[in-house]
Structure 1
């Protein structure tokens, strides 16, 4: 008589499922401004819109080779496609306005302005006194980060405000795509980035042309695309799949703090005591916040 079979063990969760979603967000926050910090250094060789388009193009090519998102597109429905097309257009405009803003304002200031949109998203979904307190502390921290730099080009602030509104839209659409059935998560992001490349073509192609005869600038712009649009946006999708939209919006308070630190390391923009206090308040706020929404399994749909 043959020995009894051992019971089949359940498949072990992937690495992304074992990592806390908050860690993905921290990784996103670091790269969200590390790439643009290096992009500022590229402005001596290329105009901001040229850098923006090369960033989008290089990210789109990486995603195309990695994910081949047209397969997910073929199996998706009209509603998913409309969302991804809208997201692609938003990504094109958001990147363009962001680069025009950081060309004229300190990186930390642009990040602080950018936080205003997510604050509204987090405020709308408040469900507890604890989370209200976290939001207040976060706003206070970001206000300290912004207060010391609220001077400079009015046009730069105009672009920063446009970028703020678009970034709020990014959170809403990216969170929706993370819950899609077919164009889900990274596949939806990959398709949106390819669409963004087309949308941004008339905006940045003229300013990007000099890079094609400058290997150093082209290589640097490609690296900016990977560090600014591939790594952080992928981390965003891995985090959003398991974090409520309001919680993610509150955690965006880490971005101005991260931008301040990266501004020190890369651009030698030394923070004042007020900025250091602002960073500390932001960290306290994120630690104080509690997400009552249960995590969603990220394995389904992410091929």
Structure 2
């Protein structure tokens, strides 16, 4: 009997979303000095919502009660995840922020794992994340680290809720409508930050690039991937984020990590690779809804 395998295109879609998000995060950090984390996050979400509305044109009037019940918490979780992560990103390097944020998906893997080998990979990834924590690295800002861990909790919620909403609503519509509710989360913080007046016309292009790289493209790719990839496999794939984040931080932001921090990133990537290879087969057939 031929074993079921996860299609390659959903895997490539998730990996593409990872690269896109990290490039966008590097762009965001360039806007932080003038706009702050809250306004930058709001720009990212708001412009992404506008782009997605124009492209996807979701039928809001045709949504059922069940679909609203799925997409509203998904969107609120999406907004909280973005806002809190940007608060972390404004205080700690990109590679460290991504690695600490991964604690959320990592715990999701622990709770959903059944095979011993999966726990071994999780322990290896946990060891990498432990090297990034404040008690092992005194250079890390405590508030920034805490916000990154909290963002990780919302990331885990995003994975679970995204899986649920993709079962009752087309992925493109889910992302578009969810982004509207995400905007409701971020707007109050942007208005009270006092830095919205610093926005200049020269920031339009970076802001649009941020929206495309950090929200519109990756979240659409992730929703496509979630239709085919089980929750725990999706979570493990996303552990590639620390390596990509560290590389993008080095290339675009000149953020140099210590040897200990690079070792942590390598441990997480090894765990991700091993766990992903171990789960490529016997995962069951995932029925597409497209």
Query: TM-score if structure 2 supplies the norm length?
Result: 0.87
From 236, 239, 244, the equivalent of 1:258 is: 244
Q: Is the 8 A contact 1:51 1:208 kept in 2?
A: no
RMSD over equivalenced CA pairs, Å? 2.3
Separation in structure 2 between the aligned mates of residue 150 and residue 262 of structure 1, nearest angstrom: 23
Equivalent residues in 2 for 1:229-244, closer than 5 Å:
229-244=215-230
Instruction: Tell me the CA shift for residue 173 of structure 1.
Output: 0.9
* Compared CA separation, residues 208 and 178, structure 1 to 2 (3 A): farther
Matched, 1:156 2:151: no
Instruction: Tell me the CA shift for residue 18 of structure 1.
Output: 6.8
Separation in structure 2 between the aligned mates of residue 281 and residue 153 of structure 1, nearest angstrom: 22
2:284 alignment counterpart: 294
Q: Is the 8 A contact 1:60 1:194 kept in 2?
A: yes
Residue by residue, what CA displacement relative to the aligned partner does 1:142-198 show, whole Å, maximum 9, x if unpaired? 334557755343332332232122111111111212222xx2212111110022223
Q: Is the 8 A contact 2:37 2:90 kept in 1?
A: yes
**2:92 aligned counterpart, secondary structure:** coil
* Compared CA separation, residues 149 and 77, structure 1 to 2 (3 A): farther
1:269 alignment counterpart: 255
Separation in structure 1 between the aligned mates of residue 236 and residue 255 of structure 2, nearest angstrom: 25
Residue by residue, what CA displacement relative to the aligned partner does 1:32-84 show, whole Å, maximum 9, x if unpaired? 22211111111122121111101001100011011112x1x433322221221
Separation in structure 2 between the aligned mates of residue 83 and residue 56 of structure 1, nearest angstrom: 19
Matched, 1:77 2:67: no
Bigger helix fraction? 2
* Residue ranges of structure 1 left out of the alignment (5+ in a row): 1-16
Equivalent residues in 2 for 1:173-252, closer than 5 Å:
173-180=161-168, 183-205=169-191, 207=194, 209-210=196-197, 214-252=200-238
* Compared CA separation, residues 28 and 236, structure 1 to 2 (3 A): same
**1:197 aligned counterpart, secondary structure:** helix
* Compared CA separation, residues 108 and 146, structure 1 to 2 (3 A): farther
Separation in structure 2 between the aligned mates of residue 209 and residue 274 of structure 1, nearest angstrom: 38
Which of structures 1 and 2 has the bigger CA Rg? Answer: 1
Separation in structure 1 between the aligned mates of residue 132 and residue 243 of structure 2, nearest angstrom: 7
**1:97 aligned counterpart, secondary structure:** helix
**1:253 aligned counterpart, secondary structure:** helix
